[in-house]
Amino acid sequence: MALLDILIYPDPGLREVAEPVERVDDEVRSLVEDMAETMYDAPGVGLAATQVGVNKRVFIIDIADEDEPSNLQVFINPEILLREGTQSWKEGCLSFPEISEEIKRAKRVRVRALDLGGNEFELEAEGLLAVAVQHENDHLDGVLMVDKVSPLKRRLIGRKLAKRATS
C-alpha cells in the first residue's frame, strides 16, 4: 500500500471525466487499497480516483464515526439511479483543504455499482452517505463542490486556496 498525492484545486486533473473500469482486477483492488490508506491518512470520509490523478470510475466512502469500526464502501462504475428530495449539508473536500461550504443535494439516492469482487449491487442512501455518494460521483464527472456555490463564493475559495499555496 502507498499514500497517493491528492490533487488540490485548481489542478486541471480534477476536471477530468473518469473512464469506466473494464475489469475489476488486482490493479483496481490495489488502487482501492492505496486510496483507502490515503483517505484515512488525510483524514477524510470519501475519495474519488480522479482526486489522486487516476482516470477511473472508482470512489470510496467511510462515514463511520471515530468510535465505530471502519466501514469502507467501494463503488466501481457507479451510476446514480434515483435522486429524491433536497437537503443542505456543510461539505468539505480533500481537494479543497480547510474549505467547507453549505451545498444543496438530493436527500435520498439510489446508486448502482460494482464491488471489489466485480459484483453489481444497489444501495439506497440518505443523510451523510447520500451526500458523500453524490459528492464523490460528481468528482468522477469532473464536477467540483465549487460548481455548486455562487460565483462570489467560488472566487473567495479560489483566493483562499491561492493564498494558502503561497504561504
The answer to whether the beta carbons of residues 21 and 56 sit under 8 Å apart is yes
Give the span between the Cα atoms of 19 and 9, in whole angstroms.
Answer: 21
Residue 84 and residue 66: Cα distance in Å, rounded? 29
Query: How many other CB atoms sit within 10 Å of the CB of residue 4?
Result: 19
Provide Rg for the chain, Cα atoms: 15
Q: Of the residues 16, 91, 101, 136, which is catalytic?
A: 136
CA distance 21 to 114: 10
Instruction: Clarify whether 19 is annotated catalytic.
Output: no
**Spatial CA neighbour of 76 closest among 33, 39, 22, 126:** 22
8-state DSSP, 56: B
- Residues with catalytic function: 136
